[in-house]
Amino acid sequence: MKKIFSVFIALSVIITCARAQNVGIGTTSPAASAALDITSATKGFLPPRMTAAQRIVISTPAEGLLIYQTDGSKGYYYFISGAWTSLRDEKTYTSLTIGTQQWMDRNLDVATYRNGDLIPYVTDPTTWAALTTGAWCYYNNDPSNNCIYGKLYNWYAVNDPRGLAPVGWHVPSDAEFTTLTNVLGGASVAGGKMKVTGTTTTWNSPNTGATNTSGWAGLPGGNRWNDGTFNVIGNFGYWWSSTASVTDTAWYRYLGYSFANAYRENLTKTNGFSVRCVRD
């Protein structure tokens, strides 16, 4: 009888809290602003745990839904703006307004697609050269280059339907890059306005025409050629657009240490270039 009475009291507390529209676990005084207030100094909160396959078939997930993925790219994922986003890879990018566009303040640095799927990290040059799907790498396979220049991606990662850019951003089209260079006075001078100044830690001398008056802060992150070799860090920076040229090539822009131009070219999609995103 005593045990039944204790259970009845516990249930009464929960029901009373529920009626007040906030429930306390470990406390009889849940915060008024919390629907659920969990208080403990010895235990944590454990959300639902599931595989990636189970996560992606959740029916009509609510905005803000949180789960822990137990396989693949393990970690916490939440649902926002119609897509699953990994908390581990979520980064804050500052918007930089140039004309009517809002650009990222630095190169992209993600290792998963927008839905949380892992983008393969490929170091072997032969494997890289044969790719027809998305991949990324550090310049010269050296992680120390990441903090300054970000990652290098092949165009297959740029074009993957799972989305390379974080929520609220996209990889600029060829036309959007043209809009940028036109606002900066045309391609013949825009490169200087897009490059950081100086020749001590980033661009090699002479860094012709560099003023960075746009704030775009372009850096010479080099590239990974389609044969898997690395080249020209300190001399050139390359940025993919989302626009294909022909079947095997896509458009990109590049800046250089010895000129003020922002050049437009197309190369094979297996090349590894930097990515700079623009706001949706």
pLDDT of residue 9: 45
What residue ranges of the chain have pLDDT lower than 70? 1-20, 72-73, 81-83, 87-91
DSSP the chain: -HHHHHHHHHHHHHHHHHHTT-EEES-SS--TT-SEEE--SS------EE-HHHHHT-SSPPTT-EEEE-SSS-EEEEEETTEEEETTT-----EEEETTEEEESS----SB-TTSPBPPB---HHHHHT--S--EE-GGG-GGGHHHH--EE-HHHHT-TT-SSPTTEEPPPHHHHHHHHHHTT-HHHHHHHHBPP-SSSSSPTT-TT---TTS--B---BEE-TTS-EE-TTTEEEEEEEEEEETTEEEEEEEETT----EEEEEETTSBBB---EE-
The C-alpha atoms of residue 17 and residue 114 are separated, in whole angstroms, by 38
The C-alpha atoms of residue 58 and residue 38 are separated, in whole angstroms, by 26
pLDDT of residue 20: 53
Phi and psi at residue 4, to the nearest 5°: -65, -40
Q: What is the value of pTM for the model shown?
A: 0.72
pLDDT of residue 185: 97
pLDDT of residue 151: 95
pLDDT of residue 159: 97
pLDDT tens digit sequence for 75-100:
788 887 566 777 655 567 888 999 99
The C-alpha atoms of residue 3 and residue 201 are separated, in whole angstroms, by 72
The C-alpha atoms of residue 105 and residue 92 are separated, in whole angstroms, by 10
